[in-house]
Structure 1
Amino acid sequence: MAPMAWTRRALEDYRSRVRGCLLGGAVGDALGAPVEFLALDEIEQRCGPAGVREYLPAAPDDQRYGLVTDDTQMTLFTAEGLIRAGVRTDRGIGFTVAVVHAAYDRWLDTQLLPGPSGPVSGWLAGQSWLYARRAPGTTCMNALQDARDGGTRIARYGTPAVNHSKGCGTVMRSAPFGLMAPGTWPDEQVFAMAAEAAAYTHGHPTGTLAAGTLAVIVARLVAGDDLDAALDAAAAELSQHQAHDETSRALEAARHAARTAPVTPAVLEALGGGWTAHEALAIAVCAAAAEPEPERFGDALALSVTHGGDSDSTGSICGNILGAWHGETALPPALAFEVEGRGTILELADDLVWEFTRARELHGDHGPDTRWRVRYPGG
C-alpha cells in the first residue's frame, strides 16, 4: 500500500464518506428491521402509503427504537478486520484478507455469548451492545461454526465455505472493502478481496460476485464518482468474472427500473425479495438511483425498506451506497441520532480512515508495540 499525500480538504471528504457509509448502512438496517418479515400490504397498513419513514419499535414487547441487526454487526467486524490486516502488514507479509475471516469468528462470539468474556482480542469485541442476536443468517452462523470446529487456526481461516448458498449475508457486510483509501487498491483487487471474504460463508458465485460488485460501487463513490459512473465501473469489473450473468442481469434490471420512474414498492418487488445477494443489491441500487439527491436520502431509505422482503438488508446496502456517495452530513438527523451503536460506528469509521491514511504515525513499519496494536492486534 503506497502512501499518498492528503490535503486537508481531501481527507475531510474521505472521512465524511466513510462515516456516511457505515452510519448510513446502520440507519437503513434499523429502519428496515422491524418490517423484515411483513408483506407489503401489512407494512402499508402499519406505516401508511408513504412507507417506512421512521423507526418502529423493535417488537410489540420491545419498545426500543433504532436497533440494528447482524447486517451492521458483521459490517463493523469487516471494517475491524481490514484495519487489523493493515496493522499486520508491519510483519512484511502483505495485506491478508483472511484476517477478516478471524474478525467474523469474533462476531460469532457475539451471537453465542451473553457478553464479553474475559480478555478479548481488540476493542470492538469488547463492546457489550454488539452481543445481541438479531436473527443472524443461518448460513453465516453454520459456516463460521464449521470453520471454528475445523482444526488449527491456519487450516480454518481463509478457507472457502462448503455450501451452495447465495444469500444476501455476503453483500450486506461488504461495503468496507470499498472504504480503504482511494488509490490504495485498483477496482479488480477491491472486487477480489470482497469476493474472497464473501466465500468464507457462502459458496455460490452469485453471493461472492454481488459482494465484490458492492465493494467496487462504494470504492468508486468514495473516490468521487457519481452513482452512474460507479455502477458502470462495477458492472465492467463484474463482467470479467465467470458466472456473472445472474448478478449482471439483476444490476441492469435495477438501473433500468430507476430510469423508468416512478419507482414504487411494486417495482422493487419485481426485482425480487432481497433474500439472495443479487436481489438485495438490485433493490438497494434501484432505490438509491431513484432518489439520487442528497436531500432525498431519507426518501431513498424509505423506498429501499418498504417491500415484502429482506428489508433490513436492502436498507443497509442502500444506506452504505448513499452514505459513501453523499457523506455523513446528508444523513437524516431524525434517524441518525437514535441508531444503536452510533458512537462505536463513528469511532470505528475514524479508525479506518486513520489506518489507511496515517498508519506510519500509529504503528510504523516495524516499530514497537503501540496502544494502536493493542486496540487492533495484527491478526
Structure 2
Amino acid sequence: MWGRTEQQDFRSRVRGTLLGAAVGDALGAPVDGLGLGAIREAHGTEGLTELAAAHGRRGAVTCATQLMLFSVDGLIRAQVRRDTGAWHPPTDLHRAYRRWAATQRDWGPDERRKEDGWLAREEWLYSRRDPARACLTGLADDRMGTLDVPKNPGEQGPEAATRSAPFGLLVGWEPQLVLQLAVECAVQTHGHPTGFLAAGAHTILVHGLARGESLDGAIQRTLALLAARPGHQPVTDALRHALGAVRQGMPTATRVEELAGEGGAVGALAAAVYCALVGEDIRHGLRLAVNHSGASAASGALCGALLGALHGETALPPGWLTELEGRATILELADDFAMEMTQGPALHSPAGAAPGWLARYPRA
C-alpha cells in the first residue's frame, strides 16, 4: 500500500524525471552537434547558460522528449492491458513507438483512431525534430526487434537511452527486471550492445534514484547488474571513467568533452553521469552537460532525468520550465503515470473499470 507521503514523493520524482529530461533536451537543442568553439562564439566564453531558440522557439524539445513521452504512454497501456491477461510490455512499448512514428509521417492526429489514446492526439507532437534515422527505420514496419534479432544491429547512438528513463520509474519492480525491459525495448531501434546497454544503464540509474538511493549507490548497483551482460565493457568503462573524472578537480567543459567523445550512447551517458555528480545544483549540472562538441541534447536529457529523479520536481529551474515546450502535456502524463502505478487496480480492474481512464489508455 502507498501512504500519502510516499505517493507525493513518487509523484514529485516522476514529474522531476520527465520534466528534467525535457528541459535538459531543450537546453541542449540549440547547440546540438556544434563544436565547443562555435558554442562559445555564439553564446560567450561560458557557453550556453540559458534556454535559446531552436526549431523556431525557445524551450523547444527534440525527438528525444517526444519518444520519452511515448515510453510513458506505452508503460501505462501495458499496465492497463495486464487485466486482459495480455502481459508483454515490450509489445505495448513497440506499439507506442509506432504511434510516435506516425507523428513523423502524418500532418496531424486522426481523431477517428480512438484506440490511439489521448497522447497521439496532441498536435504539438507532430512537429518533426530531426529524428534519428535508426528510430525511423527501426519503427518503419510491424516487426519488433528482439535481443536475438535486433533492429539496426550496428546502431550505437544515444536515442534509445534518452527515451528509457520512464522504465526506471517502475519502482515496484526488481532492478534486473527493469534492466531487461529497457534493453528489450531499446533493441527495437538500436541493436548494438553499446546502444541498448547504455539505455539499460541509464534506466537502472533512474530506478535507484527514484527509490531514494544516492547517485553513487545507483552507479555501483548499475555496474554490478551490467557485469553479467555480454558486451557490457564499453558501458561499464564509461561509467567508471565518469566516476574517475570527479576526482580530477573542478569540472570543466574540456573534461565533459573528453567524456562525451564522439557523441555515441556511451559518451552521452558518461557525460551525463559526470555532470550529475559534480553539478552544484540542477542548473549548473545541465549547463555543464550541454556545453561540449558532442550530442548536447542527448547528454542534457540524460543528465536532466537523473537530477530530476534524484531531487524531484521542485528543484528544477522554474524559469526554464515556464518556457518548456509541451510542459502541460508532460505534467499531465507524469501525473497519469503516478496515478496508474499507485492506484491502477481502482482504475481498470476486472471488478470495476473507470471508463474515462480506458478512453485515455485503451486496451486495444
Which residue among 202, 206, 217 is the counterpart of 2:205?
Answer: 217
What CA deviation, in whole Å up to 9, does each residue of 1:234-293 have, x standing for no partner?
A: 1111111111001010111011112322121111111134631111111100111111x5
Aligned runs of 1:246-265 on 2, under 5 Å? 246-265=234-253
> Equivalent pairs: percent with the same residue?
45
Structure 1 residues 274 and 132: CA distance shift in structure 2, 3 A? farther
Partner of 2:23: 27
Structure 1 residues 377 and 261: CA distance shift in structure 2, 3 A? farther
C-alpha distance in structure 2 between counterparts of 1:66 and 1:371, whole Å: 32
Matched, 1:166 2:156: yes
Cα distance, 1:117 vs structure 2: 2.3
Matched, 1:67 2:55: no
C-alpha distance in structure 1 between counterparts of 2:106 and 2:315, whole Å: 36
Report the TM-score, using the length of structure 1 for normalisation.
0.92
CA contact (8 A) 2:39 2:48 kept: yes
AA partner of residue 255 (structure 1): L
Matched, 1:323 2:308: yes
Deviates more, 1:123-132 or 1:93-102: 93-102
C-alpha distance in structure 1 between counterparts of 2:235 and 2:332, whole Å: 33
Which residue among 281, 285, 295 is the counterpart of 1:300?
Answer: 285
Cα distance, 1:39 vs structure 2: 0.8
Deviates more, 1:66-75 or 1:109-118: 109-118
Matched, 1:118 2:111: yes
AA partner of residue 169 (structure 2): L
Give the match's secondary structure for 1:170: helix
Report the TM-score, using the length of structure 2 for normalisation.
0.95
Cα distance, 1:119 vs structure 2: 2.1
**Alignment: residue pair count:** 359
AA partner of residue 319 (structure 2): A
Residue ranges of structure 1 left out of the alignment (5+ in a row): 149-155
Partner of 2:272: 284
AA partner of residue 128 (structure 1): E
What CA deviation, in whole Å up to 9, does each residue of 1:284-325 have, x standing for no partner?
A: 00111111x5xx110100000000111001000100000000
Partner of 1:198: 186
Matched, 1:332 2:327: no
What CA deviation, in whole Å up to 9, does each residue of 1:310-349 have, x standing for no partner?
A: 1001000100000000000000111111100000001100
CA contact (8 A) 1:18 1:353 kept: yes
What CA deviation, in whole Å up to 9, does each residue of 1:115-158 have, x standing for no partner?
A: 1123231000000000011111011111111x34xxxxxxx246
C-alpha distance in structure 2 between counterparts of 1:263 and 1:256, whole Å: 12
Which residue among 138, 156, 159 is the counterpart of 2:133?
Answer: 138
Partner of 1:55: 51
Give the match's secondary structure for 2:245: helix
C-alpha distance in structure 1 between counterparts of 2:276 and 2:339, whole Å: 28
Structure 1 residues 368 and 221: CA distance shift in structure 2, 3 A? closer
CA contact (8 A) 1:168 1:274 kept: no
* C-alpha RMSD over aligned residues: 1.4
Which residue among 328, 331, 336 is the counterpart of 1:346?
Answer: 331
Cα distance, 1:162 vs structure 2: 4.3
C-alpha distance in structure 2 between counterparts of 1:143 and 1:273, whole Å: 25
Cα distance, 1:32 vs structure 2: 0.4
Cα distance, 1:95 vs structure 2: 4.6
Partner of 2:73: 80
Partner of 1:151: none
Cα distance, 1:365 vs structure 2: 3.6
Cα distance, 1:13 vs structure 2: 0.7
What CA deviation, in whole Å up to 9, does each residue of 1:215-250 have, x standing for no partner?
A: 110011000001111111111111111110010101
